[in-house]
Amino acid sequence: MSDSERRRYIRPESLNLLDYIVVDEQGVQSEYSMGRTLNISIGGILMETHIKLQGGQQVMITVGLEDELIDVMGRIIHSTPHDDGMYHNGIEFFHASIEDRRIINNYVEAFHGQFPEAAEKKKQALSFLKKD
């Protein structure tokens, strides 16, 4: 099963600058660095960084989406090295304000408006929510 088949949310490809802080289990902030998004959904992002991040770590992320800055908390699900020396880190969001979720959703919906096949895939992915 491919990654796209396992995902709950459609993830538009998206290159946006971000900064992040790694946070330990006690809430103590450690590493601060920058990266960029490779794709984004209401449930998470694929984040490109120059250092490997450990699965399970928590990160506070600030990302620019068009003219908006959003702040989210996420958990690193995986970190994969690439030939260019960068790492692709799958991040699952576990906290974002209602306003920040609205901004992400609007961003993703705008993508779906430009690419109708993505909107149809989202509709199919969410079909389990329909009541019979």
CATH number at residue 49: 2.40.10.220
- Please state which of the ranges 17-26, 57-66, 103-112 shows the lowest mean pLDDT: 103-112
12: confidence class by pLDDT, cuts 50, 70, 90: very low
Q: What are phi and psi of 128, to 5 degrees?
A: -65, -15
What integer pLDDT is reported at residue 41 of this predicted model? 85
Most confident of 15-19, 88-92, 112-116, 122-126: 88-92
pTM above 0.85, yes or no: no
Domain span at residue 54? Answer: 3-129
What total of structural domains would you count in the chain? 1
Contacts of 70 (CB under 8 A, 6+ apart): 62, 63, 96, 100, 103, 104
